[in-house]
Every structure is written in structure tokens, then in C-alpha cells.
Amino acid sequence: MRQVMNTKKIYALLIAMSVSTVFVCAQPTVYPADPQSKAFVIQGATIHKGNGEVIEQGTLVFDNGKISYVGSGSANVPAGAEIIQANGKHVYPGFIATNTNLGLVEVSSVRATVDFAEVGDNNAHVRSLIAYNTDSKVINTLRSNGVLLAQVTPEGGLIPGQSSVVQLDAWNWEDAAYKVDEGIHINWPTVRFGRGFFGGGQQNPAAQKERIQKEIDLLNDFLYEAKGYAEADKDEAFNARLGAFKKVFSGERKVYVHANKANDIIAAVSFFKRLGIKPVIVGGGEAHLVVDLLKDNAIPVIINQSHALPSSTDEDVYLPYKQAKLLDDAGILVAYNIEGFWQQRNLPFMAGTAAAYGLDREKALALITGNTAKILGISDKTGTLEVGKDANLFISDGDALDMLGNALDRAFIQGRDIDLTDLHKQLFERYKHKYHLTAE
């Protein structure tokens, strides 16, 4: 017992020391990590692989940015490796935030900082990656909770533009790029709701229907032209919007269709089927009502956050908590997204809630790791803790899906040992100093 106390004291001292360093530094001195220079061996941890499997008392080795061993028992320790004893701790693949405007906005209410919505209905050609601000103060706060990758996504209009996947430890967007321009997003035309201002801006059902049909026609015309454009031997006249779909028709770029209503999902899936495209449904508010369609067509769904209210009065009060399980049980590939940017740090708790309401905990983890990587087309590189994949992972003191357990010791992106300091921790330290809470 005494020894434990000592260890604690030492630990406190270490914190105090590190605090003094932290103190003088602010965000600008939270440096992106250098490439992995030595192997790491994590021993004794519970390893959650992100594919539904879990290894108790496992060992994980990674070197040169890649995972070289995952398993129970012991592994060969490469020369010069740092051994991390993680008994009682948990190792997870880095969580992947999808459909986020992270880095495209710094302060929602300040227009000058808002870069996620271009003007116009069809912006198939705009690319989020080049606007992604690696110096956003938000990014580090996400890493602190285990989010290590993000699909940076534009918003607004019928075709908001192209998303890219980035890793969250970079000097600039070029470094951050993990999968470039990997998908085009389409907001499926749907019923819009007025907010009740000035007698309500809501169109009547007939007018809504007419507008929706017009927008679908627009999409239809555009996409068939894009198909023709893609199939042509050479471009007669350069068209950036049409050109954006070339890679879609060649299968190199995904189509993410944002749709929530059952009817909209049905319409969207059928629409793209005719074009020979298998879209990813994003939102999927009523996806659980059309599971057969989704299953028959092998359509994956990135559903909305579990921390949401039911969409109508009559719905099961817990439906948003249970939806992931309903889809997973039906054999549909499903992942989570959260609206917004700073909110992404709660991504693990979305999965935790799904687990609380019946989904197997490892499967729940897959909703923000393995499944997500498959849907985004990056499962060859990340999403699970398997040999050959990038060492995007972290060690948590406890169950990272639970706020009571989510406490990161170490995190690695491509094997790089990243600094888990963030603005909030820095301000915490600053005011611990003010109130003399750091002095032992």
C-alpha cells in the first residue's frame, strides 16, 4: 500500500513538472509528432480490435508506422523498442469521425470562420481538404478522447462537394491527407420544415412534392450527363462539376447520399442503382424501416448520433439509442456520424449508448472504427488493430466508450507518438495554477 502511495506521489510530481512545461506553451507548441523512430510493444492490455474481436491480456507491436503483431501472449520485442506495460488498460483503434466539418469552421457563429458551405446548389467540384485547417483549436480536443481520423465534409445545397479523410496530427492539410477526395456528397431532396417564423415558412405538401421532384430531375439530368462525360473518349469541353463524377463512375470515388426519411432512402437507392452506383446513406433516420432494401442492395449506412430525440412524439423514446442495433441485427454495415465539429469528442459515447441499449460492446466499437473504415474505403489501412495496418491507436485507462473509463494515456497516429495536450487541458492547468491546485 505504501508503495502505491509513493508511485502516486511520483506521478503527481511528474504531472507538476510537465505542467510547468505546458504552462509556457500554448496550442502553437503542441507539435505534430515526428515519424515513428522506434518500435512500441504494448503488453498486458485488453485489445479491442474494432472488428468485433477482443483480446484479453494481449500484446500489440507496431513499427515503422504499421502494426506488426496483435495477439495474446508475448511477442518478439524488436530491438530498441519501447515497452508499454498496460495491464488493466485498454487498447483501441483510433476512432474515426465521419461527416464532420472539423477544420472547416472555428466559431460557428462567426461567418469569417465558416468554410463548409459553398454558395449554389451543385458544387460537386469543391474539395474540403484544401480548406481543412490543421491549426484549429478543436482538433486536439478530439484526440484527447480517442478520435484520430476524420472525414472532413462540406455541407449545403444539393451537391455540397467532396470529402477527404484526414488524420488528426499534421502540420498542414497536405500532411493530414489520409484519403483524398474520397467521396461526393449529395443531399437527397426532401421535405423541408419551416420554423414558425412569420406564420411558418413551410410549404404545403403538394408544393413540397413538386419541388422535390424538380430537384430530383435536376440531379437526374446532371448525373446522366456526368456519366456520358465520364464515358467519352476525351473531354470536348472541360467541366469541373461533371468531371468530379468521373472517379465515381470508375469506382474510385464514393457517393454519400444524405437522406433520413424512408421514402427518400428508397428513392435514392433506386435512383443510384439505375446509374450503377452503390451509394452510402448518411443520416438514415428511418433506415431501420427499410432494412430489406438496404440489405438486398448491400447499402451501408452512416447513421446519426444516438444522442438524439426521437423524430416524432409517438416513437419509442429510446429509438435513437437502439437504432444501430436494429440495423446491425439486420446485417447492415453501419457506422455513426455526429453533426458538427467540437461535438466529435463525444463520438465514443454514441457507441457506448448503443452498447447500453443492447448492441454487443465490441460491435458498438466497430460503429466508430472497423465499420467506419470499411464504409469510407480505408479499411486496408485503418479501422481495426490488425497486422499490416497503420498504427492508429490509443491506450485508455478504462472502457473508452464510457465517460467513466475514457482516459487516454498514449495515442499514436501512423505509429507517431502524439502529444495529447489540448487547449482545454492547458486552460485547466492555468487555473489550477491560479487556485494553487497543482502544488503538492
Partner 1 sequence: MKKTLLFCALLLAYGIRASAQETYPVNGSHDDRPQRFALTHATVVVKAGQVLEDATLLIKGQQIEAIGKGLSIPKGYVERDLKGKFIYPSFIDAFSDYGQQSGTEAGGGGRGAGGRSPQVLESTKKGAFAWNEAIHPETQAVKSFSVDERKGEELKKLGFGAAQSIIRDGIARGSSALVTLANDRENQVVLLPEAAAHYSFNKGTARTSYPSSLMGSIALLRQTYYDSQWYGNQKEEYNISLAEFGRLQNLPQFFEVDDVLDLLRADKIGKEFGKNYVIKAGGNEYQRLDEVKATGASLILPLNFPKAYDVEDPNDARNISLAQLKHWEMAPANPAYLEKAGIPFAISTVGLESTRDFWTNLRLALDNGLSKEQALKSLTEIPATLLGVSTQLGTLEKGKIANFIVTSDSLFKEGSIIHENWVQGKKFVANQIEALDIRGIYTSQVPDMGAVKFTVDGKPGSYDVNIGKDGDSTKTKVTFNRNGDLLSLSFNPKGAKGSTRISAYIVEGAPLVFKGESVAPTGESTPWTATYTGPLSDKKAERRDAATKTAVEGKLIYPFVAYGNEQKPVAEDVLIKNATVWTNESQGILENADVLLAGGKIKAVGKNLAAGSAKVIDGTGKHVTPGIIDEHSHIAITRGVNEGSHSVTAEVRIADVVNSEDINIYRQLAGGVTTSHLLHGSANSIGGQSQLIKLRWGRSPEELKFGGNDGFIKFALGENVKQSNWGDVARVRFPQTRMGVEQVYVDAFTRAKEYKSQLAVKGANVRRDLTLDALVEILDNKRFITCHSYVQSEINMLMHVADSIGFKINTFTHILEGYKLADKMSNRSIGGATFADWWAYKMEVQEAIPYNAYLMTSQKVVTAINSDDAEMARRLNQEAGKIVKYGGLPEEEALKLVTLNPAKLLHIDNRVGSLKAGKDADVVLWSDNPLSIYAKAEKTFVDGVKYWDLDEDASKQDVVQNEKARLIKKSLEAKNKGGAMQRPAARPAMIYHCETMEEVEVE
Note the residues at the interface with partner 1 (CB under 8 A): 106-110, 137-138, 191, 193, 195-200, 202, 204-206, 261-263, 307-314, 316-318, 341-342, 345-346, 349, 352-353, 355-357, 401-404, 406-407, 423-425, 427-428, 431-432, 434-435, 437
> For the residues of 200-221, what is the DSSP string, one character each?
--PPPHHHHHHHHHHHHHHHHH
Q: Are 191 and 440 in contact, with CB atoms under 8 Å apart? A: no
As measured in angstroms, the least distance from the Cβ of 33 to partner 1 is 24
Query: Cell numbers of 167, please?
Result: 488524420
CB nearer to partner 1: pick between 159 and 319: 319
CB nearer to partner 1: pick between 9 and 424: 424
CB nearer to partner 1: pick between 138 and 242: 138
* Pairing mode, strands 177-187 and 254-259: parallel
As measured in angstroms, the least distance from the Cβ of 169 to partner 1 is 19
CB nearer to partner 1: pick between 17 and 309: 309
Q: Residue 110 burial (CB < 10 Å; 0-12/13-18/19+)? A: exposed
Q: Which sign, positive or negative, has the C-alpha torsion 311, 317, 319, 321?
A: positive
As measured in angstroms, the least distance from the Cβ of 414 to partner 1 is 26
Contacts of 73 (CB under 8 A, 6+ apart): 57, 59
As measured in angstroms, the least distance from the Cβ of 140 to partner 1 is 12
Q: Are 405 and 396 in contact, with CB atoms under 8 Å apart? A: yes
Report the interhelical angle of 347-356 vs 319-329 (nearest 10°): 80
Query: Cell numbers of 209, please?
Result: 412534392
CB nearer to partner 1: pick between 215 and 339: 339
As measured in angstroms, the least distance from the Cβ of 117 to partner 1 is 16
As measured in angstroms, the least distance from the Cβ of 419 to partner 1 is 18
CB nearer to partner 1: pick between 345 and 381: 345
Give the Cα separation of 385 and 22 in Å (integer). 31
As measured in angstroms, the least distance from the Cβ of 342 to partner 1 is 4
Give the SS3 label for residue 159: strand
Number of alpha carbons in the 13 Å side-chain half-sphere of residue 44 = 8
CB nearer to partner 1: pick between 143 and 241: 143
Q: What is the CA radius of gyration of the chain?
A: 23
